[in-house]
Amino acid sequence: MNHLAHCFLSFGDESVLLGNFIGDFVKGRDWQQYPARVQTGILLHRTIDSFTDNHPATDQSVRRIRALAGRYAPPLVDILYDYLLAIHWDQFSEEPFEAFAEKTYTQLANRGAEMPPVLAERLPRMLEGRFLHGYTHREGLDWVLNRFSLRIPARFDPQALSEAFFADLDGFSTDFKLFFPDLLQETRQFLQQNK
């Protein structure tokens, strides 16, 4: 899963959100340098990633785009699933998206100084661009896919991927709706065990 899901699956806990948000930037055992609740968020991020990578419904989505994305299909499915979370938001959250997003922007801004330098430097631009809102419409998703294509050494066509995704939106949505309730359960269980 990508930014939107990691933020959502922090369930409003600002310290868990911080850890979950910076998870990709904290390597090895460096998570142990953070306060306890932030550690929980970092480990939650890793749990979410591992669970996502090993779920059969996610694997089905990966197969749908493998020909277009090659070995980058799994992280691209993470991005596509954030869009699916946004468009199916009301099925998974009682909190309106706008309220969630504004609260999350505020919480991240509160903790920017605690983030790894590369992320702390990016954060103001992300907040100014209201990055969570980008997953709510096709133009935003296409922008994220294009940015991803510029960061990897292999060539893939983000426009072709986008067209394939929207042509099979029902299929991807079916995969997502099989997967995401399981991820919600896994996440809540992890947090219950790590209070």
For residue range 133-144, list pLDDT tens digits in order. 999 999 999 999
| Model confidence at 155: pLDDT above 90 | no
| Model confidence at 167: pLDDT above 90 | yes
| Average pLDDT across the chain, whole number | 94
Whole-angstrom Cα distance, residue 104 to residue 97?
10
Task: Report the pLDDT averaged over residues 107-129.
Answer: 94
CA distances from 171 to 13, 60, 138, 175 (A): 33, 9, 17, 6
Of 71, 81, 76, 65, nearest to 183 by C-alpha is: 81
Confirm whether pTM is higher than 0.75.
Answer: yes
Residue 141 CB partners (closer than 8 Å, separation 6+): 79, 80, 83, 134, 135, 162
> How does pLDDT run across 31-76, given as a tens digit for each residue?
888 999 999 999 999 999 999 999 999 999 999 999 999 999 999 9
Whole-angstrom Cα distance, residue 130 to residue 189?
30
Of 8, 16, 2, 15, nearest to 191 by C-alpha is: 16
Of 86, 114, 116, 101, nearest to 24 by C-alpha is: 116
- Amino acid, single-letter form, for residue 82: D
DSSP 8-state symbol, 156: -
Q: What is the pLDDT confidence band of residue 154, given thresholds at 50, 70 and 90?
A: confident
Residue written as token pair 């691209």: 76
Q: What is the pLDDT of residue 183?
A: 97
What is the percent of the chain where pLDDT is above 90?
Answer: 86
Radius of gyration of the chain (CA): 16
